[in-house]
Amino acid sequence: MRIASFNINGIKARLPAVTEWLNETRPDVAILQEIKTVDEGFPREPFEDMGYNVATHGQKSFNGVALLSKYPLEDVTRDLPGAEGAGREGADDTEARYIEATVVGDAAVRICGLYLPNGNPAPGPKYDYKLKWMARLEARARDLLASEQPFLMAGDFNVIPQAEDAARPEAWRDDALFLPQTRAAFRRLTNLGLTDALRARTGAPGLYTYWDFQRGAWQRDDGIRIDHLLLSPQCADLMTDCQIDKDIRAREKPSDHTPIWIELAA
DNA sequence: ATGGTCGCCGAGCGA
């Protein structure tokens, strides 16, 4: 089972690029971030015509996540648990950043698709929201770990885990993506026993998933690794490959991110 | 030091 994650930066602008990528790489499951539309605005038909089941959690203009799967999407849930006042008016998290579903191939895998808050500027309320969100994600990981079912958390974490994950780490020193508190919160996830799939496969530096549209970042390979696949122990046992589709970033009208994928014996 | 680029939509915000 091949599972890919891709921050597409707007489905309305990216539909041709996304369908081309899917046709070429044929992932069984695609985890999308920043669809930037309400559910009704998401073009389900092109994906359904390619054999994908579709589940979205959208909002107007910003954020939004989606799951595409050749297997049925079972027990779909939206929103990360733990928001204060969740489900009521005035709840403190109204942003569409999280979706979960179970897919069953040779084994059942719980898929958690996420678009973690950027958090800039830091310090400030946006950074506080990011750290709270990461604490809620840790709590969700603890609950899923207790169930001992294979699961993975995948998406745009907006976290540069270590200096080697940036071409110019000094440029990110005061950024919400790289501040010590951010990296510590990410480390709490891996310390729970979740495996950073790409790092488990290779220690090579210079592997990035995002290059800014500005300042010729792509041309200079001035990138950062912020899109991650974190695997539960039972899921990591099944991994046979993990790679970044770097060439997608070089195409016409690209997203500023590029896909990352894993192959599971499931 | 500043400005540089995208996508959302139709002004400015978020990244």
Question: pLDDT tier at A84 (50, 70, 90 boundaries)?
Answer: confident
Q: In this predicted model, what pLDDT tens digit does every residue of A122-139 receive, in sequence order?
A: 999 999 999 999 999 999
| DSSP codes joined into one string, A159-215 | ---SGGGBSSGGGGTTSTTTSHHHHHHHHHHHHTT-EEHHHHH---S---SEE-SST
pLDDT of amino acid A90: 64
**In chain A, how many domains are there?**
1
Q: Output the domain CATH number for residue A10.
A: 3.60.10.10
Give the CA A138 to C1' B1 distance in Å. Answer: 40
Pairing assessment for the beta strands A151-156 and A108-115 based on DSSP bridges: parallel
Residue A190 belongs to domain spanning: 2-264
Closest residue, by C-alpha, to the C1' of B3? A215
Q: Would you say A49 is a known binding-site residue?
A: no
Give the closest residue to A99 by CA, choosing from A86, A109, A113.
Answer: A113
pLDDT above 80: residue A85: no
Give the CA count within 13 Å in the CB-facing half-sphere of A184. 5
Three-state DSSP class for A104? Answer: strand
Strands (E), A34-162: 53-57, 65-69, 74-78, 98-104, 108-115, 151-156
pLDDT above 70: residue A89: no
Q: Which residues of A spanning 91-130 put their CB closer than 7 angstroms to strand B? A: 117-118, 120, 126
Closest residue, by C-alpha, to the C1' of B7? A10
| Residue A57 annotated in active site | no
Average of per-residue pLDDT across A7-26: 98
| Residue A156 annotated in active site | yes
Greatest Cα pair distance in chain A: 47
Average of per-residue pLDDT across A168-189: 98
Query: How many angstroms from the chain centroid is the CA of residue A230?
Result: 10
- Report CA torsion sign: A15, A19, A22, A25: negative
Give the CA A225 to C1' B9 distance in Å. Answer: 30
pLDDT of amino acid A126: 97
Average of per-residue pLDDT across A58-63: 97
Question: pLDDT tier at A92 (50, 70, 90 boundaries)?
Answer: confident
Average of per-residue pLDDT across A106-128: 97
Annotated catalytic residue: which of A28, A79, A93, A156? A156
Query: Which positions on chain B have an atom < 7 Å from some protein CB?
Result: 3-9, 12, 14-15
Output the pTM of the full model.
0.97
